[in-house]
Structure 1
Amino acid sequence: MTATPPRPGTYRRGLRFLLRRRATLARLAAWSVLETGQTFLLGLALARALDDGFLAGRQDIGLLWLGVAVLGVVAGAVGTARVYSAVAGLVEPLRDLLVRRVVERGVLDGDGAAVSRLTQQVEIARDTFAGLIMVSRSFVFTAAGALIGLFSLAPVLLLVVAPPLVAGLALFLGTLRPLSRGQERFLIADESVSARLALVCAGLRDVTAAGAEEPTARDAGTLIDRQYRAARTLAWWAVPRVLALGIGGQLPLLLLLVTAPWTLDRGVSPGALVGALAYVSQSLLPALRNLVHGLGAGGSRLVVVLRRLTSETGQQDSSLSELTREAWDPSAPALEATALTFAYGPGAEPVLDGLTLTVPQGGHLAVVGPSGIGKSTLAGLAAGLLVPGAGDIRVCGLPPRCEQAAAQRVLIPQEAYVFSGTLRDNLGYLRPDPVPDGELTRAATAIGLDTLLGRLGGFDAPLDPAALSAGERQLVALTRAYLSPAPLAVLDEATCHLDPAAEERAERAFAARPGGTLVVVAHRISSAHRADRILVMDGPRTVCGRHEELLVRSSLYRDLAGEWGEPAGPRPSQPALALGDTDRVDPVAGADLAGDGGHVIAHRAVGQMQAARDLGDRSASGGERQHP
């Protein structure tokens, strides 16, 4: 396994992030200049205190210049205090941006690691980013102050200090990209080892029972070796960093001492030489050391963490952009699934297995089946909330997770969401522009919200979600979806708290929307009767057709139609039919007679099979029974 190299997009996004905050950067630079004043004054004040003061016998001048150095320290402290507030203006927006990305990904993808990313990785990125700004800014302005000071003392001193400093800095910068790759490679290898060991430890009994100790150990050993090689490679990259620090920070000190006779012969005063040593030892060397350790470890870690926080989101954004550029075919089916397969986990049985389905534009489909068979899963896949394990699903010819497809569909779940505010705010939430009162009134009348509207006192009345019944909340959510511009509406038992008449009114309103397509996860047989076609989800026996066809083709649908269609109250007994078959066994007109346990009564030769559901058998298995 190899780590993915840093994508240029990561750096481009970081650059755009900074450029959008030019005012904050300018304020940070201004306070950094004030902070750097102490660096410039340190060497200059020491040189003047020696040359013009103490070495010339003028202690007062020497003390005066030392006082100037102290003032520089005070000014630097003021600048440092203001620097922190400017850094916060860069760090906190980054944290807010990462939190939004993590939350969006957690909601959209059901990301189980979202809590860890919010509580740990985002804070790592925030703190590391703040540290990098501080050390990078400090090095840039400290180096500038020191080099300007050296030039003001004696230009020849700059010729001694600058070349090794530039060489060391170039060597260090050259290690950043491979160091970042090495850190990510090590992190991936470490995560692979942890994941494999967790899997092996949980299944040790199975490994032993199957005699798979050797291949399991060999597989784990391969991952551990890979982690070791990644750690070893990462450790080797510490050598160039130490070398860069030695060349850029410590070699200038040595060169100043070695070349002292030569520089003194060329007019460099003893005070200027001492000032140069102070510039290097007290300013350049600490700043370079902080840069090497901070940017070397923290910088590569920041790149890795940011890439891991945004990589899936970034890839998703990229894929969304690509998908958005696909041509949208208005004649494409509103919903189309091809060999669609989905399971809740790698070892779980598929909830959907090879489902193929087409819902044309303007169609009306009802989805029925027992609880847990996958009806809401299909709705989630159509809404882009779930990702299929295999096969394909399209909304108006587009992948359901792309932006154009998201604008073509609206999902109304069973638990209706209503927020505090006005009724107008709730109803117009899915519209980009304000909805005219006339359109609001027509939608409320079509869905059946007019009674609630009259009770509240108008669209601008405040809405308290807790004061509404479950059915009223569903009416608000249905009207909101009805007003949305999305032509495909998916009702996932969104009318379960309404009475049959209110449910029929809402469904007929959605079905009558111009160009609208309706998919209903039904919980009453009346919803299926109103649909053009019905999808009966029954595992491998899933079928789709019209009501009359399914009564013949699907025993499950006959059962469901019988259960949902039974009138309320006790059902009267029916007499047995006349004797009719050669075995002289009375067939029973209905298996729901008082005291009947749902057993099949044979009316064929002993030993033959009789379809249980044809006689109204309510057995959970739905299978067939043999009469002994």
Structure 2
Amino acid sequence: MSGPVASLVVRTLLGEPRLLVRLVAWSAVEAAPAFAVAVAIARAIEDGFAAGRPGTGAAWLALLGAVWLAAAVGARQVILTVAELVEPFRDLLLTRVVTGALHRSTGGGRPPDAAAVARAGLQVELARDALAAVVTVVRSFVFTVVSVVLGLLALAPPTLLAVAPPFLAGLALFLLSLPALARRQRAYLLADERTAAATGELAAGLRDIVACGAEDRVGAAVARRVAAQAGEGRALARVTALRTAALSLGGWLPVVLLLAAAPWLLRNGAGPGVVVGALACVTQSLIPAFRGFVEGLGVSAVRLAVALDRVLETAPPPGPTPPRLPAPSDTTVRLRGVTAAYGPHAAPVIDRLDLTIPAGDHLAVVGPSGIGKSTLAALVTGMLTPRSGEVTVGGVPADRLPRAARVLIPQEAYVFEGTVRENLCYLADAPPDRVREAVAAVGADALVERLGGPHARLDPRTLSAGERQQIALARAWLAPAGLTVLDEATCHLDPAAEARAEAAFARRGGTLVVVAHRISSALRARRVLLMDGDRVWLGTHEELVRTAPPYAELVGRWRPPDRDPRPEAVP
């Protein structure tokens, strides 16, 4: 197991000392029969049945039965404790996978690879299950071996001379084979992934392969992948065979040696009950524990190491995140020479942009679809870092702003299960009168009333896209952010509702940037930014109509609906 993998496992197991203490205590209870079986059977024979006292023999067996019942309770508690112990391990790995994917997408300008995240998520589940199995079998093995040793010592110390040497030899052979087993298991897993990828590509491109007459060449390439996987499978089987040898040496050879030593034990004062008790201890406790250890660790520990290696490879930890800085008192947004692209070799979506949005400004951003308006919104709020240049808000780099200093509402609004109030107050713990003010300001009062009020349960599946936007708008209005960016956040609302929501944010104060869905949003703004390919225009609506032909053309193509009220201009 590599250093990072071992460190992650150890940190997880030592993270909850309380659970470790509970696990040790219940493990001792679960392993008690391994100690009791040797003594109870020997005494039941020697002091009971062989001595003509069947009641005494039955009492010893009843005591052994009581110990087994207690062990059953202990086994149940062990399972529950192990589950509590390893659950944070899965959460830690999933957090790492998702955080790494989001970090790479925002830092590198590329969207997360959903397939890679899904594959890493599957490896996380495998790692969690494997860790639980490893903890279970290792704990059971250790406590059982200690109980067997104590039981044989209490019964007849010479029995250990027959049991300990072959057992330790088998254990050593198995532990020495584990690194090779892990390497072969990893090689087989990688070969299996390559085979799956090759066959998937073959199935997806079958028509093109036949059209190009490349059946033989592609078939041979896939056959090589299959042959390579088969070879790795045979190598894995050879190493796995060592487990059987280790089990025979450490598990069954002690039984043979005990039987061979029985005459010597009897000549030296041990009764038949001692021999039977020692055999019962070895066959009923030591061999099952060793078999579980060999089979469980040989499969689960290797699977854990391989799965964790794959998770750490595909989801490396994100680089150090710069600390958040205090919220600036000024919300002036400045972009200086900003270039942004989705991918290191992709053409820039925004190229060397200089822009200043004064504090308290109301700016509408318009332009054709795909021109970079949402990219600009992500840059301004620090959700995306530029390839070059800098973006600041009040002099603070946008990606180091405290989260409470800005709020971004995307086109698809997020609403979660919970109460209406929990959704509205997600970004600020506002008093009831403030919540009512926010709901009324963005025109969501009728919606909240229909849902049953602020304390009603909310099921996002029952809301339309427009209703989800109204909830998100009220949530953003309540937030203490001095910078608000609406990225087509009203596109599912009718024009009247959109006008009411934008006017509410304009009256609320702070800097407002609206990525416009309708040209009417530009009419309500103080200034308009037109993005059109390599050029941008900035000015009032009237100025752009006169000086920017693409804007005049855009306005000319727009026809307001009959019921699109023009709110009074925002001062």
Alignment match of 2:28 (pick from 24, 33, 39): 33
**Aligned-pair distance for 1:284?**
0.7
Residue matched to 2:164: 162
Give the SS at the match of 1:490. Answer: strand
* Whole-Å separation in 2 of the counterparts to 1:174 and 1:334: 62
Letter aligned with residue 249 of structure 1: G
* Whole-Å separation in 2 of the counterparts to 1:214 and 1:393: 54
* Whole-Å separation in 2 of the counterparts to 1:251 and 1:394: 73
- 2:438 aligned with 1:444, yes or no? yes
Q: Tell me which structure has the larger Cα radius of gyration.
A: 1
- 2:484 aligned with 1:489, yes or no? yes
- 2:93 aligned with 1:91, yes or no? no
- 2:78 aligned with 1:73, yes or no? no
Residue matched to 2:109: none
Letter aligned with residue 38 of structure 1: P
**Aligned-pair distance for 1:135?**
3.3
Residue matched to 2:567: none
Alignment match of 2:205 (pick from 174, 188, 203): 203
What is the 5 A alignment of 1:423-438?
425-431=422-428, 434-435=429-430
Residue matched to 1:111: 114
Letter aligned with residue 111 of structure 1: A
Q: 1:186/1:278 Cα in 2 relative to 1: closer, same or farther (>3 Å)?
A: same
Is the CA contact (8 Å cut-off) linking 2:442 and 2:473 kept in structure 1?
no
Residue matched to 1:246: 248
**Aligned-pair distance for 1:297?**
1.0
Give the SS at the match of 2:114. Answer: coil
Q: Out of 109-118 and 500-509, give the one that drifted further.
A: 109-118
Give the SS at the match of 1:444. Answer: helix
Residue matched to 2:137: 135
Q: What CA deviation, in whole Å up to 9, does each residue of 1:170-189 have, x standing for no partner?
A: 44344445534543442233
Residue matched to 1:21: 19
**Aligned-pair distance for 1:305?**
4.4
**Aligned-pair distance for 1:271?**
3.6
What is the 5 A alignment of 1:296-311?
296-305=298-307
The TM-score with structure 2 as length reference comes to 0.73
* Whole-Å separation in 2 of the counterparts to 1:168 and 1:398: 62
**Aligned-pair distance for 1:214?**
6.9
* Whole-Å separation in 2 of the counterparts to 1:131 and 1:85: 15
Is the CA contact (8 Å cut-off) linking 2:530 and 2:536 kept in structure 1?
yes
* Whole-Å separation in 2 of the counterparts to 1:210 and 1:233: 37
Q: What CA deviation, in whole Å up to 9, does each residue of 1:125-166 have, x standing for no partner?
A: 666555545433432332222111111122232243224323
* Whole-Å separation in 2 of the counterparts to 1:226 and 1:382: 51
**Aligned-pair distance for 1:476?**
4.4
Alignment match of 1:508 (pick from 488, 506, 509): 506
**Aligned-pair distance for 1:528?**
3.6
Q: What CA deviation, in whole Å up to 9, does each residue of 1:438-488 have, x standing for no partner?
A: 8768x739x93489499969x985467699997776454224224334554
**Aligned-pair distance for 1:25?**
1.9
Q: 1:198/1:288 Cα in 2 relative to 1: closer, same or farther (>3 Å)?
A: same
Give the SS at the match of 2:158. Answer: helix
Give the SS at the match of 1:410. Answer: strand
* Whole-Å separation in 2 of the counterparts to 1:269 and 1:204: 76
Is the CA contact (8 Å cut-off) linking 2:43 and 2:60 kept in structure 1?
no
**Aligned-pair distance for 1:341?**
3.1
Residue matched to 2:519: 525
Letter aligned with residue 14 of structure 1: T
* Whole-Å separation in 2 of the counterparts to 1:218 and 1:273: 63
Q: What CA deviation, in whole Å up to 9, does each residue of 1:92-140 have, x standing for no partner?
A: 674587479759949965735878888x777756665555454334323
**Aligned-pair distance for 1:33?**
3.4
Unaligned runs of 5+ in 2: 103-111, 563-571
Residue matched to 1:60: 53
Give the SS at the match of 1:7. Answer: helix
* Whole-Å separation in 2 of the counterparts to 1:284 and 1:455: 66
Is the CA contact (8 Å cut-off) linking 1:408 and 1:487 kept in structure 2?
yes
**Aligned-pair distance for 1:325?**
5.0
- 2:39 aligned with 1:47, yes or no? no
* Whole-Å separation in 2 of the counterparts to 1:337 and 1:89: 56
* Whole-Å separation in 2 of the counterparts to 1:334 and 1:4: 46
Q: 1:173/1:16 Cα in 2 relative to 1: closer, same or farther (>3 Å)?
A: same
Residue matched to 2:6: 8
* Whole-Å separation in 1 of the counterparts to 2:19 and 2:355: 49
The TM-score with structure 1 as length reference comes to 0.68
* Whole-Å separation in 2 of the counterparts to 1:233 and 1:392: 54
**Aligned-pair distance for 1:75?**
2.9
Is the CA contact (8 Å cut-off) linking 1:24 and 1:90 kept in structure 2?
no
Give the SS at the match of 1:546. Answer: strand
Give the SS at the match of 2:321. Answer: helix
Q: 1:77/1:175 Cα in 2 relative to 1: closer, same or farther (>3 Å)?
A: farther
RMSD: 5.0
Residue matched to 1:368: 366
Residue matched to 1:594: none
Alignment match of 2:409 (pick from 395, 408, 412): 412
* Whole-Å separation in 2 of the counterparts to 1:173 and 1:66: 41
Residue matched to 2:340: 340
* Whole-Å separation in 1 of the counterparts to 2:383 and 2:218: 36
Give the SS at the match of 1:276. Answer: helix
Is the CA contact (8 Å cut-off) linking 1:366 and 1:533 kept in structure 2?
yes
Q: Identity rate of aligned residues, in percent?
A: 38
- Higher RCO (C-alpha 8 Å, min separation 6): 2
* Whole-Å separation in 2 of the counterparts to 1:198 and 1:470: 37
Give the SS at the match of 2:53. Answer: helix
Residue matched to 1:288: 290
Is the CA contact (8 Å cut-off) linking 2:325 and 2:401 kept in structure 1?
no
* Whole-Å separation in 1 of the counterparts to 2:115 and 2:259: 60
* Whole-Å separation in 2 of the counterparts to 1:421 and 1:205: 49
Residue matched to 1:597: none
Is the CA contact (8 Å cut-off) linking 1:341 and 1:391 kept in structure 2?
no
Residue matched to 2:257: 255
* Whole-Å separation in 2 of the counterparts to 1:280 and 1:454: 72
Is the CA contact (8 Å cut-off) linking 2:442 and 2:500 kept in structure 1?
no
Letter aligned with residue 39 of structure 1: A
Is the CA contact (8 Å cut-off) linking 2:163 and 2:254 kept in structure 1?
yes
Is the CA contact (8 Å cut-off) linking 1:147 and 1:158 kept in structure 2?
yes
**Aligned-pair distance for 1:211?**
5.9
Residue matched to 2:106: none
How many residues end up aligned between the 2 structures?
536
Is the CA contact (8 Å cut-off) linking 1:5 and 1:181 kept in structure 2?
no
* Whole-Å separation in 1 of the counterparts to 2:458 and 2:309: 40
